[in-house]
Chain A
Amino acid sequence: MASLRELQHSFAAALRDPAASCAVRPAARLELYRLNASANFRGALALTFPVLLRRVGADYFTQLAHFYRERFPSRSGDLHWAGRDFPDFLAAHLAGGDYAWLADLARLEWARQASAVEAVTAPVGAEVLAAFAPEQLDRLQFTLQPSLRLVDSPFPVFTVWLANQGENAPPADQSVGPECGMTLARPDGVEVARLAPDLFSYLSALAGGATLGDAVTRAALDGPRLTQVLAHSFGEQLVTDVVAAPAC
């Protein structure tokens, strides 16, 4: 008699391929399980990528979900993670076409999903800087909110995302050009916001573990602009800790 493992693997094969045999009755009803698995997967993607769904329509979204699932089947019992590879899949699937920008829209929506389930940590204010000597400032390392995700694109994906928060959004205007921004958990939901390119570079550097001095260099901030950027970082409650790296 077939083992439990063999029975399950033959059932799984029949879910992937209707022509595969499986010792169940009535075998025709395996189609219900195929449809369930497909619908559950597609439903999870629809929850994670609502603006992408709105832009491409339900039918094309279902097609994309189908092709994506063939290439990247679910690897977890928790469908929260089903969309993790969807942006990369779309980038490959849509490369070179008029819809290539949808991959970056999906990247933004995945970032938003990632932000949505992170904790909101107590922020520190700019007054913490007073605890450090002037010669330490270049060596400061900032811990940012765990939910902060930074996204940049050659396409105006933030404009598209923000314009599509209701029904009947206007067509995406690609002439706006490149954009960068962040997604961040707030106590009442997730904030999605464009950022100035130098602020984005600065935050990206800090998020990657760079010191304040290195972040300022990479973002090409002059003195007055650094003052603004620091005020923004603390004022928007992005910073949760500041320490001084040891001197070399």
Chain B
Amino acid sequence: MSRLDPRGVPLGPVPARAGIGLRSVHHDAIATRPPVGWLEAHSENYFHDGGTAVRALERARANYPLSLHGVGLALGSADGIDREHLARIKRAIQRFEPALVSEHACWGHAGGEHFNDLLPLPFTDEAVEWLAAQVREAQDFLGRQLLIENVSAYVAFEHSHLTEWEFLGAVVERAGCGLLLDVNNVYVSARNLGLDARAFIDGVPAAEVGEIHLAGHAVHDGVLIDDHGSRVCDDVWDLYSYAISRLGPRPTLIEWDTDVPTLDTLVAEAARADRVLREVRGLAA
């Protein structure tokens, strides 16, 4: 049983168990309190004063630890941080008191135009310094440590002279942030760009990994597309087991954003991740 504050809000960290993303089609069903360890919600869906989404998260928040996961801040954008967006994240944090707050190691806007996508960064020293500075600025403003997630990629910059794991490790070290390791993204990028997925897992700073993401992807013309629209594939489950064996148990999210299935299907995927986490604990015991 989670410890509760006087309002009934679960306090303390997100447990090293499997959680699921809260999606609007499950706003009612989540009230049945399915057996998942925690919930993650997209920060941008809760930027407003009212609405059914806000009320649903307030209800769900009373029963589960929460992670707020942003998809729009794009901290690696060379044009700088959108301060209004950042302020909205801060208000959401104050309102929902999440145990984890995360963003992506990506860029997303240039010249005032937002592409509303998680665009890849060049893995250069300049990008390390820039992203780390932006993460520090965001953390200072939010008063919270951020977890920064590796994104899936279809292309690589010719200018990159670091590996992605070296890049992420350097950003984490300079910014004092944590890492959200998306194992599906590791797999997608590795397959698309000819990288060694296990070397990626081996190369990230293990102690700084605060959360793991798992998701499904699609395959079109030989390219893996990170669409979060299906079950986690067997190869990614294998990579996840490898990651957990290297990192130890970590809070693990089942992400499913398109063609969202029934809550039962999500809970079953989470149960599979929990089995992996239990197996690793068993081996360590």
Chain A residues at the B interface, C-beta cutoff of 8 Å: 1-5, 7-9, 11-12, 15-16, 23-27, 29-30, 32-33, 36-37, 40-41, 44, 73-80, 82, 116-120, 146-147, 185, 187-189
Contacts and interface: CB of A to CB of B under 8 A. Distances in A.
Interface string B221-251: 0010100000000000000000000000000
A146 B49 contact: yes
A23 B116 contact: no
B268 interface: no
Interface of B: 44, 47-52, 54-55, 71-74, 77-79, 82, 85, 88, 107-117, 119, 121-122, 124, 126-127, 130, 154-159, 192, 223, 225
B48 A7 contact: no
Nearest to B48: A117
CB-CB nearest 8 A-B residue pairs: A77-B72, A117-B48, A119-B50, A5-B78, A12-B110, A24-B155, A119-B49, A29-B154
A24 B50 contact: no
B122 A7 contact: yes
Contacts of B155: 24-27, 29-30, 33
Interface centre among A7, A16, A44, by most chain B C-beta atoms within 10 angstroms, is: A7
A77 B157 contact: no
B49 A40 contact: no
Contacts of A185: 50-51
Nearest to B110: A12
B113 A75 contact: yes
Given A12-B111, A32-B154, A78-B47, A41 B159 contact: no
Contact of A74 (B116, B119, B121, B154): B116
Contacts of B121: 4
A76 B79 CA distance: 13
A74 B115 contact: yes
B129 to A, nearest CB: 9
B158 A23 contact: yes
B74 A117 contact: no
Contact of A77 (B55, B108, B110): B108
A32 B19 CA distance: 30
Given A26-B155, A32-B223, A4 B122 contact: yes
Nearest to B52: A189
Contacts of A2: 159
Nearest to B73: A77
A41 B108 CA distance: 13
A33 B117 contact: yes
A44 to B, nearest CB: 8
B158 A12 contact: no
